[in-house]
Structure 1
Amino acid sequence: MSEPAPAADDRIPGGIFHGPTAVQVGDHNTMHNRFVTEKRSPADAAADNLARAVAAQWEAEAGLRRLSSTLPVRWALSGRRIAGRAAGAVESSRKARFDPLPGLAPVTEEVLRNGGELAALHAVYGALPAGRLLLVGPPAAGKTAATVLLLLTALHYRQRAAPADQPHIPVPVLLTLEGWDPAAESAVEWAAGRLSRQYTSFLGARGRESARMLLNSGRIALFLDGLDEVTAKLRAAMVAALEPAPCRLVLVSRSKEAVLTGKKARLAGAAAVELQPVRPEDAADFLLDPLPEPAPKPWRTVADRLVAEPKGVLARALSSPLAVSLVREVYAEVGPVDELLDTTRFPHPRAIEDHLLDHAITAAYTPRSGYPRPDHTPEEAERTLRHIATQLTAENTHDLAWWHIPSWVDARPRALAVGAVIGLIDGAVATWAFWPDVAPIVACLNGMIVAAIFGLLAHHAITQLSRPAPLSSSSWRDVFPRGSIAIGFIHWLSAWGTSVAISRMPTGIDPMPLWVYLAVTAPIGFAATVGAGRGYRLMKGTTFYFNSFFSNQIEGRQTVAAFEGRSIGPRPVWHHHTRLRVLIGLMNGVAFGLMFGLVASFSPAGPDWVLRLAVVNTVWPALYSGLLTNIAFSTTLTAVQMNARAGTPVRLVRFLDDAHQRNLLRAVGPVYQFRHARLQERLARDH
């Protein structure tokens, strides 16, 4: 007996044999196969690509933060004056802004009031008619960790959905609100700009347009952290600017700041949920789970006290995920964890939390069996992190961008040192170049003049990089975007044709072969190519700097280095930026050296003069575009300067990556942040 043909939506490619029949009919008969395929739109493909990048980014970050074995996320409907009535958030009589995600039931007021854990929170996020969820809690309540876990839950839900449903499930993206000026750009424009700097698939003008399209079509859900970290005036403006956003929103904030913001601006139809304190029994289980059975006596004593005295000092201190996780990190399996029960040393919960924060760095950098040996002592690590925390707090920021480090100390010492070294190098090269052809005193005088000029230019370049600014170079696709090579090729041919035409004029000088003109004008095409992309600053200060029109069109664009199809982290930014700038600097120097060397090869001066001219015109372009205007080089010099002054590591960026691996810092896009704002506050205050 034949099975009924499936509905059109259930069709699959190929034929299915339904038994030994003489004649077969239907869409799936073996005599007449019919292949039904569905072509995915560019928007769906872009969303899938983003989903893969976001999943790789936050699964790796969750592993470093040890969120897979974290405490349960418990939440309840907030009773604070943050959002409107719960009934208004789930009301079905008005037109819903968003339908529930495929597979999710409409959220009811009862569901909101019952609260629950992570799965229930995802069900609320995916079914709110207005698509607006406020996630609040007191300091150290684990808001960021809960947001990351919710984001991963939403990603996994999308991955497990049927292919036909995936386009209707948005890709969650976590961004921090710091740096957004709602008066200057809309929420969509700001988010598109942030996405273009954090994910490689959105680099360049076309990438940003793709991000804008995904946001406007609701294919991206914005998880926005850090509302409490901006000024009160900006908070209200941000909430008002987010109101018309065409995508789902999850807004994360401390409870106090959320209440203050709610007095001035609210998201229509939003539901506000609040993270609940850690239950004593959950904290006890979390502490005992990794220990052998029976657990060491000090740990059993602490766990028993937590359960027996749910309102005691210890239970109130360990009511936050941060404090509970710090207990497990600070104390070894045989450590004196029961000292936390001493009410003389720790008379109130804040004393216990401060004690744990004070020992977090020591615990992270103490050698342990089975873990890589730290490259830094606990004292050096603590000294460095205190210095960094103090600097960030003075700047009123939580974002640590390594390319801003040169602004932390006085640039004059390193600018003078670099200027002197570059002046000596260029002066020596110039003296060597002219020594055989002029009097020694003239050659030395020429070298001194060259040393002074280029030393001052080097001093100026290092000083310029001491001011906080966006990165001036980016990925290969940004330095050489589509169309820039064609522009460079046109410039090259134009310059070649012009030079050939001039050479044919009646000047009495024999023209050089055509291939020589083609070779010597190649740097002009190279300059135009770089000028048309985002690496235009590489050409400033060199012998030629063409294409000012194209460089003016892109002035001020913020870019970062990246790898194709991935999220952009601090360490890849450092590596790729450094290698790219040095390599293009060498290309720049060799191009100009080749040009002048080829021209000089047709002069009667001889090969020695050709060599000297080529070297002279190679050194300065290579040094300037490869090192002097390279923010990574300036950051390295600053780290050396900070080592002499404050005792911080010379390889500072490597230290930051190590601190990230040890869960003292977290990576948010291309910048670092302290694991928790309380840790930064504590370190800065003590320093």
Structure 2
Amino acid sequence: MASEFSALLRRLRRDAGMTQETLAERAGVGVRTIRGLETGERADPRVTTVRLLADALGLAPEDREELLAAAISRTGNGNQPDEATGHRQPDGSPGPGNRPDLPTGRGNPPDESTAHVRPVTGQPGSAFQEALADVGEQLAQAVAARWQREEEHRQVHDPYPLPVRWQPAPEELTDHWANIRCLPAGVGDGPLDLSGRLDEIVGVYRRIPSGRLVVLGRPGSGKTVLAVRFVLDHLKSRARTDAVPVIFSIGSWDPTALTFRDWLTRQLTRDHPGLAAPGPAGASLAAALVESGRVLPVLDGFDEIAGGLRRPALEALNATTLPLVLTSRPSEYAAAVAETDVLTSAAAVILTDLTLGDLADYLPRTTRKARGGDPARTAWDPVLSELRERPHSRAGADLAAVLTTPLMVTLARAVYSDTPGHDPVSLLDTGRFGSPAELEEHLLDNFVAAVYRPRPEHRPGGGARRDVEPERARYWLGYLAHHLDRLDTPNLEWWRLGSGLRRSTRTLVTALVICLVIGLVDCLVGTLFDTLEFQLPDGLVVGTIGGFMFGILHWFMVAARDTAVAPSGVRMKMSGRDGKAARRAASQLVIGLLAGLVFGFGYGFIRGIHDGIVFGVGPAMTLRAGLYDGMIYGLPFSLAAGPTFGLLGLLQTPLDIRSAISPASLLRTNCRTVTAQLLVWAPTFGLLVGVGAGVVVRVLPALLGPIAWNTASSLKLGLISGLCGVLGYSLSLTAWGQWVVFSRIWLPLTGRLPWSVVGFLEDAYERGVLRQAGAVYQFRHARLQDHLARTYRARHAPRRPERRT
């Protein structure tokens, strides 16, 4: 039934002499949105949309207020979060750090008279909004815990955070200040004072009415550290209904393949699988949080987006009204701006270099006091004296140029302060280091050796830290960095470690592993029923056909798409299935029917041919035996594989949102998921094959003649089929199975990764080489990744590193 808002909107549109199409075009919204609002089909008009409609209709102030009040009354909550801000104060004004709606076009900021909405009191809050607020609280807690751990691993507070300061960026990289300040048309004003330091970032952000900030800085200048500190400080002062700041590594976004909001939703679901659960309105909780403005995206690494995608990425960001923080190197952002425009309504700041005073305060406090003599002296004193007293000398000038970013200072600390026996005075040796670039390469190259030096330390969970030779660690890390370069992503995802190989290689390796596994299982289990002499050729046939069939399935479903199987972070569920699960199940049903028919007919045909040759019945009878056995095995395998394959698409439900997700925990969760699924699938498939074969051999003799078959034959076929089918499916079509094939077998076998990949990655994270970003790892800095990848490629080293004897 149409509401007061619907009738009012319809009347105002007609009074303005507009059609629905005209209003939609002028307001920049869809015709379906207008139609739904006027008919009452859309029961939750957003304040952002209502303001756009009011502007397009050219309403007088009193009509505008009436329309806004009717929209808020319709939601049943006078303090409904605005799409753009996600939070309102009791008086209806935007809360601290939030902002009124952003303009949809260049130079058209919204009318300031619409920034305050008359609240409707005495009405209960929407259950949907309350549910989202609860989910937002859980997300905020998970985000805070994650980044607090990350700061500890990166030793940000040991002994104290390096100074990170900034100043306003050049005006050509900043939008019009009237847009940034959300001023009415025709009103101009001067720039905001946005200078500050690390502990002031939230206060500076909240001085920006538009809620959009671009942070620029050269490599290693502290952009990520600033982003982390912004998230943690913002969460400390966050109200319950405020947007939750979440860091997203934007380098993995392809704006030509996925919209910005959809990409945010997908990243949230990956890092917090519980958000895949359907929300009160039907969409996933992740999508609901993004669409309702309850997520404040902190987009780290705009410069890491592929060069040809930065322009469409910036255009896509300008097409949204979401508040956000964006970090980038200055040159890459400036190039994208030159191709299109600045980030709409965004202020921009640029990080400044560290000073000699910063170095003098910080470096001496990171190393031990000198033994004997003056206890206040440290190994860094001669270096600092050179920089202070001879700043224009070649050694002093080169080193001063290097130690201007937090990255290089922390590398210098790791190589010299944290490593016994290393004297930082060697950094002044111009014979070894002829330029600042050589100094930087030296620090990057020795960082791995420094963090992998033998130390009698213990892991947090107990037990001594396993030593890894620095040279082998550098080789394996170099391969991982090279792998990320090939995939053009900063995210080290365990389920994609095989994706760096050629598609043909991935398919052949998968087929080969499945062939060996299925053949071995067939031989071992089959000897319970028949002799080894009979089972050896049977295992060879079953393994070959199984490897071939699952290899074909892997090619069409995974490799041909040049993608990877995503981890299934789900548990079993028998009820409450949605339409998407039903469609997935139907698709898998068809695939299962075809795959089962191919495997069953192929196995039966080869077995019939083999028997015909062994018994010497002649070519005609041999061919007839092959076709005959193909039908006997093809029908039950097809009718069993289809339903059981489709069953896997139904028995799924997301995990609890409060689950702590890390790369290792996601791997363990996915392993448990695959195990749970296959404990249901294997006996079901085996039972259907065994029973189906028994039914077929009772039906076909009437058409083709007698068949030698008994109960033991059905039991054997069902048992072997269940086990082999489970193994083939899991190794070829699950993320955990592909992890086993490549990360536990192929890559270690070829020497490119260690046998214990999980242990190596967790150890690298604890040593500070990697950082954790949700369910993925990343190198602690893009410069380190680039250096390791270049070193690996320069060596052209497909050979495995020498092992200790």
- 1:133 partnered with 2:225: no
Question: How far apart, in 1, do the equivalents of 2:356 and 2:176 lie?
Answer: 31
CA RMSD of aligned residues (A): 4.1
Task: Give the conservation status (yes or no) of the 8 Å contact 2:222–2:405.
Answer: yes
- Report matched runs for 1:67-466 at 5 Å: 67-68=156-157, 69-79=160-170, 81-86=172-177, 89-90=180-181, 92=183, 109=191, 111-112=193-194, 115-158=195-238, 165-167=239-241, 169-206=242-279, 209-263=284-338, 264-293=340-369, 294-295=375-376, 297-308=378-389, 312-331=397-416, 332=419, 334-372=421-459, 373-409=465-501, 410-411=505-506, 412-413=508-509, 415-426=511-522, 429-430=525-526, 433=529, 449-460=541-552
User: Structure 1 residues 537 and 220 mapped into 2: Cα distance closer, same or farther (>3 Å)?
Assistant: farther
Q: Please state whether the residue corresponding to 2:167 is helix, strand or coil.
A: strand
Task: Give the conservation status (yes or no) of the 8 Å contact 1:170–1:218.
Answer: yes
Question: How far apart, in 1, do the equivalents of 2:379 and 2:580 lie?
Answer: 72
Task: Give the conservation status (yes or no) of the 8 Å contact 1:665–1:675.
Answer: yes
Aligned to 2:738: 634
What whole-Å deviation, never above 9, does each CA across 1:103-144 have from its counterpart, x for those lacking one?
xxxx984522xx111243211212312111010011221211
What whole-Å deviation, never above 9, does each CA across 1:634-669 have from its counterpart, x for those lacking one?
333324333343353112233122212211112223
Question: How far apart, in 1, do the equivalents of 2:295 and 2:731 lie?
Answer: 39
What whole-Å deviation, never above 9, does each CA across 1:414-458 have from its counterpart, x for those lacking one?
63354134224325645754669xxx87x8776654344224235
Question: How far apart, in 1, do the equivalents of 2:496 and 2:467 lie?
Answer: 24
Measured after TM superposition, the shift of residue 297 of structure 1 is 4.1
- 1:57 partnered with 2:146: yes
Equivalent AA in structure 2 for residue 287 of structure 1? L
Measured after TM superposition, the shift of residue 175 of structure 1 is 0.9
User: Structure 1 residues 435 and 256 mapped into 2: Cα distance closer, same or farther (>3 Å)?
Assistant: same
Aligned to 1:507: none
Task: Give the conservation status (yes or no) of the 8 Å contact 1:663–1:675.
Answer: yes
Aligned to 1:503: none
User: Structure 1 residues 310 and 203 mapped into 2: Cα distance closer, same or farther (>3 Å)?
Assistant: farther
Task: Give the conservation status (yes or no) of the 8 Å contact 2:568–2:735.
Answer: no
Task: Give the conservation status (yes or no) of the 8 Å contact 2:570–2:653.
Answer: no
Question: How far apart, in 2, do the equivalents of 1:240 and 1:647 lie?
Answer: 40
Task: Give the conservation status (yes or no) of the 8 Å contact 2:567–2:735.
Answer: no
Q: Which shifted more, 592-601 or 215-224?
A: 592-601
Task: Give the conservation status (yes or no) of the 8 Å contact 1:89–1:269.
Answer: yes
- 1:585 partnered with 2:678: yes
Question: How far apart, in 2, do the equivalents of 1:122 and 1:533 lie?
Answer: 49
**Which of structures 1 and 2 has the larger relative contact order (alpha carbons within 8 angstroms, sep 6+)?**
1
Task: Give the conservation status (yes or no) of the 8 Å contact 1:539–1:625.
Answer: no
Task: Give the conservation status (yes or no) of the 8 Å contact 2:476–2:753.
Answer: yes
- Report matched runs for 1:601-616 at 5 Å: 611-616=715-720
Task: Give the conservation status (yes or no) of the 8 Å contact 2:399–2:428.
Answer: yes
Q: Which shifted more, 296-305 or 347-356?
A: 296-305
Question: How far apart, in 2, do the equivalents of 1:587 and 1:273 lie?
Answer: 56
Aligned to 1:20: none
Q: How many residues align?
A: 588
Task: Give the conservation status (yes or no) of the 8 Å contact 2:569–2:666.
Answer: no
Question: How far apart, in 1, do the equivalents of 2:499 and 2:262 lie?
Answer: 29
User: Structure 1 residues 371 and 455 mapped into 2: Cα distance closer, same or farther (>3 Å)?
Assistant: closer
Task: Give the conservation status (yes or no) of the 8 Å contact 1:628–1:634.
Answer: yes
User: Structure 1 residues 77 and 535 mapped into 2: Cα distance closer, same or farther (>3 Å)?
Assistant: farther
Measured after TM superposition, the shift of residue 80 of structure 1 is 5.6
- Report matched runs for 1:19-34 at 5 Å: none
Question: How far apart, in 2, do the equivalents of 1:656 and 1:536 lie?
Answer: 39
Question: How far apart, in 1, do the equivalents of 2:680 and 2:247 lie?
Answer: 38
Equivalent AA in structure 2 for residue 305 of structure 1? E
Task: Give the conservation status (yes or no) of the 8 Å contact 1:136–1:255.
Answer: yes
Question: How far apart, in 2, do the equivalents of 1:560 and 1:197 lie?
Answer: 14
User: Structure 1 residues 357 and 481 mapped into 2: Cα distance closer, same or farther (>3 Å)?
Assistant: farther
User: Structure 1 residues 534 and 346 mapped into 2: Cα distance closer, same or farther (>3 Å)?
Assistant: farther
Question: How far apart, in 1, do the equivalents of 2:676 and 2:739 lie?
Answer: 18
Question: How far apart, in 2, do the equivalents of 1:628 and 1:390 lie?
Answer: 25
User: Structure 1 residues 462 and 295 mapped into 2: Cα distance closer, same or farther (>3 Å)?
Assistant: farther
User: Structure 1 residues 123 and 538 mapped into 2: Cα distance closer, same or farther (>3 Å)?
Assistant: farther
Aligned to 1:516: none
Unaligned runs of 5+ in 2: 1-88, 92-122, 370-374, 460-464, 597-636, 699-707, 793-805
- 1:668 paired residue among 773, 787, 795: 773
Task: Give the conservation status (yes or no) of the 8 Å contact 1:587–1:622.
Answer: no
Task: Give the conservation status (yes or no) of the 8 Å contact 2:306–2:488.
Answer: no
Task: Give the conservation status (yes or no) of the 8 Å contact 1:172–1:221.
Answer: yes
What whole-Å deviation, never above 9, does each CA across 1:19-58 have from its counterpart, x for those lacking one?
xxxxxxxxxxxxxxxxx99887122112112111211221
Q: Please state whether the residue corresponding to 1:672 is helix, strand or coil.
A: strand
Identical pairs, percent? 30
- Report matched runs for 1:498-513 at 5 Å: none
Q: Please state whether the residue corresponding to 1:111 is helix, strand or coil.
A: coil
Measured after TM superposition, the shift of residue 563 of structure 1 is 5.8
Question: How far apart, in 1, do the equivalents of 2:269 and 2:670 lie?
Answer: 16
Equivalent AA in structure 2 for residue 326 of structure 1? L
Measured after TM superposition, the shift of residue 346 of structure 1 is 2.4
